[in-house]
Amino acid sequence: MSRFADLAHRLRPGAQSLRETWRSPSFVVDANIAWNHVIVAGSVMLALHVRNMDDFYNLGGAVQQFVSLCALVPALLAVLSSILINRRRAIGRSLALITNYLGMVLSAVYLLHLWGVFVGVDDIARALYKHWQWLLGFPIAYALLWLAGRVPEKSRARAWLEQAALGIAMLTLIVLLWVGNAVSGFAHILGTYDSLSTWLATLMILVFAVLAYRMLHLGEYFGETPDQRIAWQGWLMLSPNAIGFMLFFAGPLLLSFYLSFTDSTGVNPPNFVGVDNYRELLALDFALQDDLSVEPQAALDRGYFVLETLRLSSHRLVVGARDTQFWQSLRNTIVFCLLLVPLSIIPALALAIVLNSKIPGMNFFRALYFLPSVAAVVGTALIWRWLYNANIGYINYAIKRVVEFLNGTFGLGLVDPKYNWLTDNSTMLISIVFLAAWQLIGFNTVLFLAGLQGVPRILYEAAYVDGAGRWRQFRHVTLPLLAPTTFFVMVTTIIIGLQVFNEPYALIPQRPIPLPATTSVYYLYRTGFFNFEFGYASAVAWLLFALIFIVTLVQFRFSRAGAYD
């Protein structure tokens, strides 16, 4: 305790000038050590609090223990840094810096939470909705700024326009703050200071910030090298991204992996069940039936249901699965990808080759083809829902006209099929494929165009000199040189296809979506957010990820090996 007495002594007025005290490294070190005691106490209290919570957000005991252990990490950091900065070791300063910086950020986030800033976004949205006219000030300011860019530099008009744009933007902001009741929002924030935790969080930010700042400037005292100094700057700049990455990516990823081995549901906390979820999903049963008059189901073990039957001369092969819906959705997804690849790639390649001939208007067409890719899938799917309409839709109308034309000119006697695109089990999936292909063609065209730009013109000239015609130039120059691009486009298309969700959801009107149009991600959505089988849904997600991973690995291997040889 003598250290504290010393600290207090030095802070006493008159003992030293406050400024000098502030500057002295030993004071900062002592203050940091003192603050570390507080961190240890707080960290242990937090860990105990987490440990004693009755219902840890329905995440189960294991996660609770883990989080409670994580809450002890600051304590560990604090103890270590106390010992090491006392010995004037550089690593101790690093630990103290990390602790203080993270402490500052986390308490700032906590303070924002206490202030109600995060939840308050809803109120901001409401205020903007009520006074949306004022939002138009921003586009007007932007338009003025754009105009200013067209005016010759250093002219009075330009300066005036820029001033006006800035003025309007500021004015808009002030008006929005005023009509959006910023004053009452501020009052609300002040109101949160009636609780002790708000005061504590504010205090913590201040202490952490001051200590972090002082520690950062004690490099010399701890013998910091220039490289280390630069490294600090790097970490500092990376930190906003890295902290968010940990919170919203790495953490959930681990949790997802854990959940996939549990029986977590909407009501039950997770219990570890090993690979049960995966076994339930993947288990297949094969049986060979001699007697074809018996139901195929009879050949399967208990708990298995018929997925597929196959006639082999006098026998019948029965394939059963425990979760037939998963397998069917997986099959739908794979069929979807197999259809999507040619339907979106061949037209894209053709368009790219035509667009690559340097004649006027190509950029215009390229932009046109890209439009479907920028529109919201939910919107375009609803358009297509009506185009697919069996009675009044343009697609059936076009088919009818084509059939009539063929019958009229060639006397073929074809029958108008009058598809019920979205309600007939046999056409649902292909309807989704057409929509997705339409959406993807422009995107793939741009990728192919980029690839074509990389083909040296001299090769075509050489082929021309050698007497190769257009087709042979395409066959022997374009296609081989475009192979890496084609491969890349194919893999991207497959990866996009494996994750398809919005298209079936918005295109198919029935709920739940009938099995023939159920894709894997929709199945995941249904198990996770309709049946609330969180553990099971996580397992589905990881299986799908495994599939995507394999596709990516294949791409990685081939793109390394096969580029331009």
Q: Tell me how far CA of residue 137 lies from CA of 90, 130, 266, 294, 448, in angstroms.
A: 53, 15, 46, 76, 41
CA distance 546 to 536: 15
Which residues, at least 6 apart from 205, have a Cβ–Cβ distance to it below 8 Å? 104, 107, 108, 111
Query: Which residue stretches of 316-415 are H helix?
Result: 324-356, 362-374, 377-387, 394-410
Q: Site for another protein (CB under 8 A): which residue of 489, 494, 508, 513?
A: 489
Burial 38-64 (b: 16+ CB within 10 A, else e): ebbebbeebbeebeeeeebeebbeebb
* Least distance in angstroms from the C-beta of 71 to another protein: 15
Residue holding tokens 């930010």?
205
Q: Site for another protein (CB under 8 A): which residue of 351, 428, 440, 517?
A: 351
* Least distance in angstroms from the C-beta of 296 to another protein: 33
Pairing of strands 305-312, 284-289: unpaired
| Residue 538 touches another protein, criterion: CB under 8 A | yes
Among 177-185, 215-223, 229-237, 320-328, which window interacts with another protein (CB under 8 A)? 229-237
DSSP character for 530?
T
Closer of 208 and 488 to another protein (Cβ): 488
| Residue 534 touches another protein, criterion: CB under 8 A | yes
| Residue 346 touches another protein, criterion: CB under 8 A | no
Q: Site for another protein (CB under 8 A): which residue of 174, 294, 354, 554?
A: 354
Map residue 348 onto helix, strand or coil.
helix
* Least distance in angstroms from the C-beta of 57 to another protein: 4
Q: Site for another protein (CB under 8 A): which residue of 133, 357, 409, 426?
A: 357
Tokens of 542: 């990881």
Residue holding tokens 């195929």?
296
| Residue 179 touches another protein, criterion: CB under 8 A | no
| Residue 347 touches another protein, criterion: CB under 8 A | yes
Q: Site for another protein (CB under 8 A): which residue of 153, 227, 290, 565?
A: 227
* # of chain residues touching another protein (CB under 8 A): 112
Closer of 268 and 309 to another protein (Cβ): 268
The interface with another protein within residues 230-259 (CB under 8 A) comprises 230-235, 237-238, 240-245, 247-249, 251-253, 255-256, 259
| Residue 561 touches another protein, criterion: CB under 8 A | no
| Residue 330 touches another protein, criterion: CB under 8 A | no
The interface with another protein within residues 377-436 (CB under 8 A) comprises 377-380, 382-387, 389, 391-394, 397
Contact 556, 542 (CB under 8 A): no
Which residues, at least 6 apart from 87, have a Cβ–Cβ distance to it below 8 Å? none
Among 274-282, 313-321, 447-455, 460-468, which window interacts with another protein (CB under 8 A)? 447-455
Closer of 279 and 401 to another protein (Cβ): 401
Q: Site for another protein (CB under 8 A): which residue of 38, 136, 187, 371?
A: 371
CA distance 3 to 1: 5
284-289 sheet: strands from edge to edge:
284-289, 315-321, 305-312
Closer of 7 and 255 to another protein (Cβ): 255
| Residue 355 touches another protein, criterion: CB under 8 A | yes
Radius of gyration of the chain (CA): 33
* Least distance in angstroms from the C-beta of 356 to another protein: 11
| Residue 160 touches another protein, criterion: CB under 8 A | no
* Least distance in angstroms from the C-beta of 49 to another protein: 15
Phi-psi domain of 537 (left: phi exceeds 0; alpha: psi -120 through 50; beta: other): alpha
CA distance 186 to 191: 8
* Least distance in angstroms from the C-beta of 153 to another protein: 15
The interface with another protein within residues 501-530 (CB under 8 A) comprises 501-502, 505-506, 509, 521, 524-525, 528-529
The interface with another protein within residues 97-116 (CB under 8 A) comprises 113
The interface with another protein within residues 116-155 (CB under 8 A) comprises 118-119, 121-122, 124-126, 128-129, 132, 135
Which residues, at least 6 apart from 167, have a Cβ–Cβ distance to it below 8 Å? none
Closer of 299 and 500 to another protein (Cβ): 500
Q: Which of 425, 549, 433, 551 is nearest to 500 (CA)?
A: 433
- In degrees and rounded to multiples of 5, residue 289 shows phi and psi of -105, 130
Q: Site for another protein (CB under 8 A): which residue of 206, 298, 368, 462?
A: 368
- How far is C-alpha 440 from the chain's CA centre? 19
| Residue 497 touches another protein, criterion: CB under 8 A | no
| Residue 57 touches another protein, criterion: CB under 8 A | yes
Residue holding tokens 């009818």?
400
Q: Site for another protein (CB under 8 A): which residue of 330, 337, 441, 482?
A: 441
Provide the angle, in degrees to the nearest 10, between the axes of the packed helices 90-115 and 73-86.
140
* Least distance in angstroms from the C-beta of 42 to another protein: 20
Closer of 22 and 138 to another protein (Cβ): 138
